[in-house]
Amino acid sequence: MNSTSVREHWSYSSLNQLLNICSLQWAFQRLYRLTPEFKSASLSFGSAFHRTLEWVAHSRKEGITPKAKDASALFDDLWRRQLEEDGEVRFADEEDADTLSIQGQSMTACVIANADPEERMLEVNRTFCVPLVDAAGEALEKPMVGEMDCLVETRGEKVIVDWKSSAKRWPAGKAIKDLQPTTYLYTASLLMPEQHIRSFRFDVVTKTKTPVFEQHLTMRSPEQFQRLVALAKIAEQLVQHELFYPAEQGFYCGGCGFQGACRAWQRSQTRTLSLAA
Ligand code: SF4
C-alpha cells in the first residue's frame, strides 16, 4: 500500500494520535481504514458538547447572550441525535444516555455561567490549511489543516480558544506541553501575522458531578514551531515505512474501537493490510 497517497495532509489530531496516543490506532483508523468495533461514549459526548458550544459562540458573536436553559435543551437534542448517528456506542460503567445527558446539560450551564461578558467573539470555526515549513525554508509534502474553535479578544489581546471536556481537572503543565497550541499558533503566525496572535487558551469543563470551568493560557516560541515541523517529518517517516506499534500501557485502550485488530496485530500484519485494502 502506498501510504503517502492515502494521507494528503496533517491535522493536529492526526499528528497527536500518531505520536502521542497510539501509532497502531492511528494506522487502523486513518491508513488501513478499519471499521471500529464501537465508538466510545466519551467521543460521542464530546461531539455533542462541542456542537452546543459552537451555538453558544455563534450567539455571542451576534451579540446575543445565550440562556443556560436553551443551551442545555440544545445539548440534550444534539446528544440524542449523536447517539443515533454513531450507532454502536460503548458506555463506561455507571453511565448511560440519560446520565450523560444530565451531565452535558450541567456542563453547558457551567460554561455559560463562567462566560466573560467583556470578551469579544471575533471568529468561530475558522478553518485553515498552511504549509509546514522547516528551518531551511523547505515545505513538507503535506500541509497542516484544521479548524480553530474560536478567536476572541480579551483585555486588548487576541487569543485562540479551544473547548475541551475532561474527566477531571487538568494537571499543571499540560497546556504547556500540548501540541495543539503549537499547531494553532504556528498557523496564526502564517495566516494572520498582522494580528500578532501570541496566546492560545484551553477552556476546559470537567465531567464531574459539579462541573468546574477552568482556563489554561499558553504561548509558543518560533523554536517550538520548528520542533513541530521536525515532528511532522518524523511522522511522515513512520507512515512511509509503516512503523506502527501498540501503545497498550497508555490510557487510550479502553476507549479504542480497534481492540480486536490490535490483539491480532503481531500474528499477521499482512492480513491486516489485506483486510484494509
Ligand atoms: S487497543 Fe490500545 S494499543 Fe491497541 S490500537 Fe487501540 S489504543 Fe493502540
Question: pLDDT tens for residues 70-113?
Answer: 999 999 999 999 999 999 999 998 899 999 999 999 999 999 99
Residue 241, Cα to own-chain centre: how many angstroms?
A: 26
Ligand 1 atom, smallest distance to 24 CA? 5
Question: Is 242 within the bounds of a domain?
Answer: no
Per the structure, the complete domain to which residue 118 belongs is given by: 39-230
Band (pLDDT 50/70/90 cuts) for residue 8 is: confident
262 CA to centre of ligand 1 in angstroms: 6
Atom 2 of ligand 1, residue of closest alpha carbon: 253
The stretch 193-222 carries a mean pLDDT of 96
Cα–Cα distance for residue pair 75/73, rounded to 1 Å: 5
pLDDT at 270 (0 to 100): 60
At 12-70, the pLDDT tens digits run: 999 999 999 999 999 999 999 999 999 999 999 999 999 999 999 999 999 999 999 99
Question: Is 7 within the bounds of a domain?
Answer: no
At 80-89, the pLDDT tens digits run: 999 999 999 9
The answer to pTM > 0.75 is: yes
Question: What is the count of structural domains for the chain?
Answer: 1
Report the relative pairing of strands 144-154 and 89-90 from DSSP bridges.
unpaired
* CATH number for position 142: 3.90.320
Q: What is the C-alpha radius of gyration for the chain, rounded to an integer number of angstroms?
A: 20
Cα dist. 111→75, 153, 179, 214, 269 in Å?
A: 12, 18, 24, 10, 45
Residue 213, Cα to own-chain centre: how many angstroms?
A: 18
Cα dist. 19→111, 213, 235, 243 in Å?
A: 31, 28, 7, 11
Q: Name the residue of 38, 248, 251 whose CB sits within 8 Å of the most ligand 1 atoms, as the mutation to test its pocket.
A: 248
Question: Is 266 within the bounds of a domain?
Answer: no
Backbone angles phi, psi at 41, to 5 degrees: -60, -30
Among 134, 151, 145, 159, CA closest to 233: 134
Question: Is 1 within the bounds of a domain?
Answer: no
